[in-house]
């Protein structure tokens, strides 16, 4: 999608210098700026919208203790699964090594 913007002459000069000194195109840096800037804008505005839903009671809220407990449960479950997979792998290796 082609888009056109007007840049302040000082900004345009900085962009030109950056592109010249690095061998990249101005379009490359503009795409980088839009991507990073969009990430920051989404973080800011979407966080504000989430906070508004929290204030209205429309969003679930968890205490730090609840999050730690859930994380610990996930680690235990994933750790158990890892052990089962490891034992299964070791069993396959052991059976393959036997004549």
For residue 29, give the nearest of 41, 42, 15, 17 by alpha carbon: 15
Q: With 80 as the cut, is the pLDDT of residue 83 above it?
A: no
54 and 21 within one domain: yes
67 and 90 within one domain: yes
52 and 67 within one domain: no
- Tell me, yes or no, whether 3 lies in a domain: no
14 and 31 within one domain: yes
- Structural domain for 26, as ranges: 8-61
- Tell me, yes or no, whether 42 lies in a domain: yes
pLDDT of residue 72: 79
pLDDT, mean of residues 66-91: 70
57 and 18 within one domain: yes
Alpha-carbon distance 17 to 79, whole Å? 52
How many distinct structural domains can be found in the chain? 2
51 and 69 within one domain: no
- Tell me, yes or no, whether 47 lies in a domain: yes
Please, how many CA atoms are within 13 Å of residue 86, restricted to the half-sphere of its CB? Answer: 6
Write the pLDDT tens digit of every residue in 11-25: 999 999 999 999 999
pLDDT of residue 99: 42
pLDDT, mean of residues 56-60: 92
Alpha-carbon distance 30 to 76, whole Å? 45
97 and 68 within one domain: yes
């Amino acid at each position: 999608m082609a888009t056109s913007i007007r840049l302040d002459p000082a900004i345009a000069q900085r962009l030109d210098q950056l592109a010249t000194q690095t061998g990249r195109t101005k379009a490359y840096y503009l795409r980088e700026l839009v991507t990073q800037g969009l990430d920051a804008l989404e973080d800011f505005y979407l966080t504000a919208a989430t906070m508004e839903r929290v204030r209205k009671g429309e969003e679930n809220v968890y205490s730090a203790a609840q999050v730690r407990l859930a994380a610990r449960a996930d680690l235990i479950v994933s750790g158990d699964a890892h052990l089962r997979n490891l034992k299964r792998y070791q069993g396959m290796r052991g059976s393959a090594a036997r004549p």
